[in-house]
Structure formats: structure tokens, C-alpha cells
Amino acid sequence: MTWIKICGTTNLEDALTAVDAGADALGFVFYEKSPRKIDVETAREIVAKLPARVEKVGVFVGESADEWPRDVLNVGLTSVQQYFGFKARVQPKNAKAAGIDGFPVPPKIYVALPVARFLEEEEEFKGLADFAKWKKNLPKEFSLLEGLLDTIVLDSGDMRQPGGTGNTFDWNKAVPIAEGMRQGGVKLIVAGGLTPANVGDAIGVLKPWGVDVASGVEARPGKKDPEKVRAFVRAVRETDRKAC
């Protein structure tokens, strides 16, 4: 089944609605400029009331992994979604460089990248699409870290607004990227402008491992619409059933 993340959670009511609807993961945004930003104390209170089966994903923006380890430990997060800029090169050499050494249970790390960079620049596009070669060239010690850099989020945002833009990207143009990821054993999460009405189309075109939604299930920034949340999960599961 397609992995579903409901992002931009700011309150317990929305979190429990998403869990009840069948979401696999909830996202908590710690980016200062986001209208969905949550503070550490509130996030910790919400996470403490969530079932163990649900992933708790902290969303961070910036090129330095030093920004998030303390929040991960203080909140009880199980995963990190790190947004990198257009010029970033995701090439940590070991666990310490990635910021996960010292964790009792190392969090999963989802690398989030702005897809526009790869759809507009041919050479960058080719580099991202050739995931089989890319994965083989990872430093030995880095490749041994399970759950690290084996999943990439392609989003329609940029560094001014990394996520929650409400805009989709050209899924058809991104098909070679999705194919390259599958061949290289890298999982794709699609984000950006997804809604209950279009998520089935996105899954049909890109066949991703997961989908990530924020603005598409909101009543307003930072507040979820319960019916939209439930409709989104239903749409994904219905698409999964048709594909079986």
C-alpha cells in the first residue's frame, strides 16, 4: 500500500483525525517561516498521545543536519524530513556527518528536494534520474545505514516556501526520475499540491512509494479539514485497490 503522510500537524485534534483516517505518518514543521510551524513543547505533547505504529516526522529546512537532533530527541520523533536548497549536495560521509550518531534508535531520514531544479536543468535531471549509479557510489559506511537516504521527497516548493505551496509539478516530466529511483532501490515520495481529487492521478503516473499532503487537506494553513483528510486517505486506498 502507498505510504501516506499528513503534514503540517499543529494540534492534537488534527493528529487524531489523521490517525483515525488511516494515515501512516504525521509531519511536524519546525521551519520558522512556515504558517504550520509548531513548537517543541506542543509537538511533544501531541506525539506522546499517538500510537507507536504512526511515524512522527519532523520537517526541517536548511543544509545543516545540526539543526534537528535536539528536537528529535526532545519531541520523540521517529523520522526527519530535511529540505535542501537548489545548490545543496547531499553527500554526508558517515553517521556523525548525518547527525544521527548517539541516538538510541536512529531516526529515518527523508531527503526533500525541489523538483523544479531537475525538471528545468537537463544535466541535474539526468543525475537525479540515474539512481542506480548514484546509490552504488555512496561511501561504504554511509550506505550501511538503513533508512538513510533510501527515500527522497520530490516537492514543488522552493527555498522561499519549501512545502505547502498548494501547487503541483509536472508528474509526466518526472516519470524518468521515478523510474530511475525504482531501478536504484530508492523510494519516491510525491509532495506538492496533492488533494483528494488528484492524488489518484499522481499515483497512477509516478507510482510512488508514498504521498505527502499538507495544504490539500486544510481548512486554513495549520488547521486540517477532517473531511478532506478522510477523503484523501480514501482516495489513496481506492487507487491502491484498483492497482492490485
Asked if 7 is an active-site residue, the reply is yes
- Separation in Å, CA 55 to CA 18, 24, 64, 78: 12, 6, 23, 6
Closest to 33 in 3D by CA, of 236, 239, 221: 221
Catalytic residue among 14, 24, 71, 150: 150
Q: C-alpha cell of 124?
A: 541535474
Asked if 101 is an active-site residue, the reply is no
Catalytic residue among 7, 24, 71, 212: 7
Q: Please name the helix (run of DSSP H) or strand (run of DSSP E) that holds residue 60, with its range, or none.
A: strand 55-61
Q: Where are the beta strands (DSSP E) in 91-222?
A: 108-114, 148-155, 187-191, 210-213, 218-220
Give the residue numbers marked as catalytic. 7, 150
